[in-house]
Structures are given as C-alpha cells and as structure tokens.
Amino acid sequence: MPSYLQEYKQKLVTAAEAVKVVKSGDWVEHAFGVCGANELDQALAQRVNELYDVKIRVDIGVWPHYSLEADPTGEHFQWHAWHFGGLDRKYYNQGQMYYVPMKFHECPRMTRNDCAGPNVFMATVAPMDRHGYFSFGAGAPSAMAAAETADYVLLEINTNMPRVLGGNQEHIHISQVDYVVESSNQPLPTLPAAEPSEVEKIIAGHIIERLYDGCCIQLGIGGIPNAIGTMVAESDLKDLGVHTEMYVDAYLKMTEAGKITGAKKNLDRYKQVFSFALGSRELYEFIDDNPGVIAYSVDYTNNPYIVAQIDNFVSINACIEVDLFGQVCAESVGTRHISGTGGQLDFVEGAYKSKNGQSFICMPSTFESQGQVVSRIKPILTPGSIVTDPRTATHMVVTEYGIANMKGKSTWERAEALINIAHPGFRDELINEAESMRIWRRSNRIPSNV
C-alpha cells in the first residue's frame, strides 16, 4: 500500500473527533463558497456549551451556518465574512455577522500576514487522487494560504465536489492535512442563473456592441452577465477568452456555443482561468477534470498586474449606485452592508491597464423603494455608502440609456456624461444639483424647468 494511502487511513476520523482541536478563543477559517465546512461545522455546533469566543471566518458562506444557529448571541461562536452571500446577509441583518473589508486579490496575503489566526482551517474537497492530492474544486481563492498558516487542517471529503485542474494552489496533499472526514456526500449548493430583466437585456446589448473577436471576458454575478452569455452564444463572435474570479453558467453557455476557445489569449492561452465556481450542477460537472478550465488562487486571477498583461480584456460588473463624480458603490445601501468589495476594483484597475482593455460597471438607471422610483445616479452617494471604486478608477458606467466613459473627463464632463445615461425623469433634478456643486457649466444644457 502506498504511504499516502496509509497516511489517509491514519488521519481518517469522524467529524466530531476532528473538531475537538478547536479551542475557546480560536479563529476558524472556512474555504470559499461550496468548499466551506458543512458537516464539520455541524459537529462544531454540538460543542456550543464547551467553547467560548470562537471566531469563524467565511467567504460567501453557502452551506448552513450550524454553529451560528446554535449560538444566536455570539457568546460561543462569532461569525465573520470576507464577502456576503445571501445567508451571510440574512444573519448580518439580524446582528449576527461581521464583514472583513478587503480587495479580493489581497486575501491570500492578508490571510498569511495580517489576520488573527487561523488556528483551524476547514474545507470541503474532492476525494483524494492516486497521488495523494485533494482538489479544492470550486473554491480555490485563498484556501492554500489558510492551510499554510493554520495550526490544524481539517478536510471534509464530498464526492460531489469537482476535481479541478489548475495553475497554482488548487490542490492540497495528504501530508499537509491533520484530519480527514468522509462526509455523507450532500449535493453541493447551487446558485440558479438570474433571469435578466428587459432593462438588463438592453444594458447587455450596449456592451455586446463593444465586444469583438478575441476579447478576454470577466463576468460578475446577476442578470446582466447571464444576458451577455445568451447574447454572445447567439452572436457571430468567436475565439473569446476567459479570465475571471467567478466562473458562472454564462461561461458554460458561451462554451457550448463554441464562442470560447482562448486561442487569442496572450496569457494562459487556450485555458479558461477562474478562482471559484458558483452555479448549477451542470456547471460543476463541466469543470470536473476538464483540462480547458483551470483554477488559480485569487492573488493570480485578480491581481491587476496579471490582468493588465492580458490584451483586449473586458471586465463586466454590477453596482448599486454611482454619484456625479463617478464614485461607484457596489456593496452597501447607506450603512447597511449588502455584499463586499470583492474583486470589482481589482478588475476595474486591471482591465483599464490592459491593451485595448474595457471596464464596464452596469446598473439599471432606477429602482423602486416603498412604491417610489429612485435614481441610481445620484448627486452624491447615499450617506454612509461605501465607495467600491474611487472616481479615479472608474472607466465606463452603463445603464439602459447608454455608456458614460469617465476617463480623461473633468468634473463637469463626468456629470454631463452620467446625467445623459440617467433616467430622463431625473435629469433636470441632477442638473440642478450639479450646478449647486459647481460641476456644471452654464453653456451645458439648461434644465427644462428653468
């Protein structure tokens, strides 16, 4: 029997046995998304009365938050997130979750150098291969950084986790693990592709007009990326490339339509590069053992220096609101936290520095709140809102009314460009506000109500 098989057997324990390494006061780090702890956290929750002040960090926690549910006061288990998913947001709204600000490409460095702990690292992984390696599968952003710095590494084996090939830090060897738990192999959490609204389809249409053969595409999450995937699949575009943090079903749709080959990429040619995947079961099956789709740690995928080396890079992300100076908020509504900075700023910076690169920040021009229509383009951001992209970084802002390029423009030119893509019902009001803020020239269009 090979030595690593013997080592596996020696380290194989129950979840209850594995989590005995957690002590009061420890920091426990979960791997990203579907690679987070499931049955290990369930076992940890059973120790609620034995432990105090255990701090848990997740990054888009998609598995049930068992230990949090076991201790709603936070006296025993206190949860934190690098980025909020739907479950995390729910608990934050109940006062049970804290956010850790970051630029995503810096997460591995912060984990190694700046964070408290982790004392214990937990991850759900694919079964060990014949060489003694476990794949982080759909969640490789900073898993290896946490494993390297943790006192204890606990792995939960799930046969539903895809085995993803990769460029760096996407696997961990049995020799680097303290305990292995064979789980009951629950299906991985899925994220249904958001059906785009008619407005989102119009926004996607503006962007499609700017794409051309050989572009390398990064997509965020939501209806607009899904609309773009559908439109690209139905278009005449060809030889597109992929370099992204998040691998979503839109890429699967474009690949199946033969639009993605990576043949024109000047970095990782022919490979679709990503850091984590979140989507349908079909998406997880597609990335399983697929040589054309490779995972890297997020300090590679999101590093603006790396992104800038990829010619014809196109970054497409969403936001909550934009002010007339070009500041973008994509993570909070006032002081109420929604998601996180994530990799948006990474790709905004990197894409603009790419040869022929384009960065698009997308949003419908309005939303409805308490029966009232509200403009997403505002004179200033809602007080308390977090600036995700500073005005110096913002490239192009897109609504259903068109595209506003912020680069190289003075404050009044920015205001004018943004007002031109605002909902017509709010333009006069925005002009008046721009005048009062001294970012509007009298030679510009005068509001109709003057």
Q: Which pair of structure tokens corresponds to residue 402? A: 């068109």
DSSP 3-state of 241: strand
Query: How far is Cα of residue 42 from the mean position of the Cα atoms in its chain?
Result: 25
What CA–CA distance (Å, rounded) separates 290 from 286?
A: 7
**435 given a catalytic annotation:** no
Bridge partners (DSSP) listed for residue 398: 362, 403
Q: Which pair of structure tokens corresponds to residue 77? A: 């288990």
What CA–CA distance (Å, rounded) separates 120 from 99?
A: 19
Beta strands in 15-108 (DSSP E): 27-30, 54-58, 77-81, 97-99
Strands 171-173 and 133-135: antiparallel
Could you give the angle at the alpha carbon of 41 between the alpha carbons of 36 and 47, nearest 5°? Answer: 160
Q: 247 vs 161, 194, 274, 276, CA distance in Å?
A: 15, 14, 6, 6
Q: Which pair of structure tokens corresponds to residue 52? A: 């105090």
Q: Which pair of structure tokens corresponds to residue 96? A: 């049970």
Q: What share of the chain is helix, strand, coil (3-state, %, to 5)?
A: 30, 20, 45
Classify each residue of 165-188 as buried b or exposed e, where b means 16 or more C-beta atoms within 10 Å of its C-beta. Answer: bbeebbbbebebbbbbbbbeeeeb
Nearest CA among 269, 196, 265, 209 for reference residue 237: 209
Q: Which pair of structure tokens corresponds to residue 9? A: 């057997």
Residue 392: CB atoms within 10 Å: 10
From 245, 416, 433, 435, active-site residue: 245
Helical ranges in 154-303 per DSSP H: 198-208, 223-233, 249-256, 281-287, 298-301
Residue 334: CB atoms within 10 Å: 12
Please list the active-site residues.
245
